[in-house]
Amino acid sequence: MNIPKDVKRIYLASPYSHPDPDIMISRFEEVAKATAYMMDEHKAIVYSPIVHSHIVAKYLDNHLDHEFWLTQDRSHIATCDELVVYKLHGWDKSFGVSWEIGLCNGLGIPVSYLEVDEVYEWLKGKEEI
């Protein structure tokens, strides 16, 4: 099955790592909402390293090893049409987000930004699952 040419492949960058595990869980949940929003409203194919790796990471002894995850993420970024940065609190201080933006700039992949309010406006009226 081929992906239609007009469907964007988006890499959704966001902060994740934090000394407080509760904040990491909260970030995962917030980014899951943003991923659903991008899939629904923008009809895009969305890869979020946080959403797609959070559950897997708990089974790895190196779950916070940046090099390991950057290797995973590099291949996904190389195939995307656009990087969208989800502006969760801390996004501008995140090593990973900065690295993702830098890689996209080097590859000529456009970078845009998604506001938290935009996702919550979409969520209004939707039932939580």
Q: 118 lies in a domain?
A: no
Provide the pLDDT for residue 128: 60
Q: 26 lies in a domain?
A: yes
Q: What tokens does 91 get?
A: 């996004």
CA–CA separation, 11 and 116 (whole Å): 16
Q: 129 lies in a domain?
A: no
Q: What tokens does 66 get?
A: 């940046």
State how far the alpha carbon of 91 is from the alpha carbons of 15, 22, 43, 44, 109, in Å: 5, 17, 24, 22, 19
Q: 117 lies in a domain?
A: no
Q: 21 lies in a domain?
A: yes
Q: Which residues pair with 86 in a beta bridge?
A: 114
* Unique residue bearing structure tokens 């797609």: 52
What CATH number is given to the structural domain containing 33? 3.40.50.10400
Concatenate the DSSP letters of all residues of 17-82 into one string. Answer: --SSHHHHHHHHHHHHHHHHHHHHHS--EEE-HHHHHHHHHTT-TTTT-HHHHHHHHHHHHHT-SE
| Tens place of pLDDT per residue across the chain (129 aa) | 676 778 899 999 999 988 998 999 999 999 999 999 999 999 999 999 989 887 777 787 766 677 777 777 888 899 999 999 999 999 999 988 999 999 999 999 999 999 999 999 999 877 665
Angle at 73 between CA 71 and CA 75, to 5 degrees: 80
Domain count, the chain: 1
Q: 47 lies in a domain?
A: yes
Q: 112 lies in a domain?
A: no
Q: 127 lies in a domain?
A: no
Domain membership of residue 83 as a residue range: 9-106
